[in-house]
Chain A
Amino acid sequence: MAPDEGRAETALLLRKTRFQDLLDHLVQAGYRVIGPTVREGVVTYDEIHRVEQIPRGWVDLQEPGKYRLRYDKNNPFWFSFTPGPISLKRYLFPPTQTLFRVRRDNGRPRAEAVIPDPPRYAFLGVRGCDVRAVAVQDRVYIDRQGQFSDSYYAKARERCLIIAVECQTFADTCFCTSMGSGPQVQSGADLVLTELPDAFVVRSLSDKGQAIVSALELPPAAPEQVAEADQAVREAAGSMERRVDTTDIRNLLLRNLENPRWEEVAKRCIACANCTMVCPTCFCFTVQEVTDLSGENIERRRVQDSCFNPEFSYAFGTIVRQTVSSRYRQWLTHKFATWYDQFGTPGCVGCGRCITWCPVGIDVTEELQAIRNSDGERGASA
């Protein structure tokens, strides 16, 4: 049986007129629904209750260093936009978290662990790249061969529901097909929706997803509807122009640690850390000691950090990565080379956020190609 046939057999149909029922059911089932919505000129994730909050008809224009939204009242599609700056990282691995508080019993300090109790999130409208990003983060935060498991992430993850919507349009910055993360969603989500002008083809990939569609008593989708939806996604995938050649990319980068290109890109890079903040897989954090004036209330927090900050590499009285070129090299080689060593996958999912949100428009795909084109060249070391 061809995979598409299997997909077709189990595909259900959710009419757009019933989409509010889905939202209502998620709330009744105890979920806090986090979906795409327009705010401050971008499509972001936020809590939504009404179908009107979904950016129906909105289309984004993304280019290196540029993001614009436009509304097309004739567009019957609800999900014609690609990822905005916010990813699920914001919810699953919040930028600031308290780790413990210090209490004193007769002068003896005691660290009281703060055991987080995250909400049951239902993430709606998640794109293939972001579904993959969660799978990548699972390896970072949970699946570390017993080394380490982040309790907040693990709990939030276990409780959450992911409803993906396959992309049928792409921004100029998207390259998910190169990273194998989209636009089709085959795993990692509980429900996968594929949009038609008046309905969604719905597939369930998990028991949690099955429970939702069963409760909604969705009818099966007609084979023609399934074929139409799949065809639209396939055609869109074929139209994606931006590409990364990932052939042997780990070794390519590791043998080019002293390629002169790192200094070239550093002439433009302003080390602002935007790319790491919008990256759905960047996980680095720093720790902060927070105390009041009395010194009695002390807590320790972890806060999202970036390898572009100079102090990030502070050690033995100096900054190890003094130059911007060395920091850019760290970021890019981590995503496309050493991430494989550490977690068995690339650290990039091809969402293109780092390209769009780079204020000077540095394009990661262009940098990778430039390294490939100058493979083996050596310059002054970074």
Chain B
Amino acid sequence: MVNHHHTGIVLKLLLIPMVLVYFSSGYAAEEISNISVQRQAELQNLLIQDCGSCHGMTLKGGLGPALTTDALKNKSRKMIEVTIALGRPGTPMPPWNRILTKEEIHWIVNILYTGVRL
């Protein structure tokens, strides 16, 4: 990473997505240790099936907006986590913090940003 200071601006820009990928995949790997494999399967099912009821099973949107990696790329990860936890007043999006822990919401958001296995 230190070497980046010596590379040209163009190369730097090219590296940004790679760095993001690096961090996001590292992030996901970190979370796996906290949530059991069985719970991960449940969360994955929840995401595709139940979130999918409003956001579409391919996450391309429905009553709720699209949640594809493309749709999320310009949105802050923190904002998405807060939206899942607290819901969005004025819309049908309910607060999930009554059902999911902070870590579980974190894990789901990671999955969304790294691309869901459909």
Judge: A and B partners, yes or no.
no
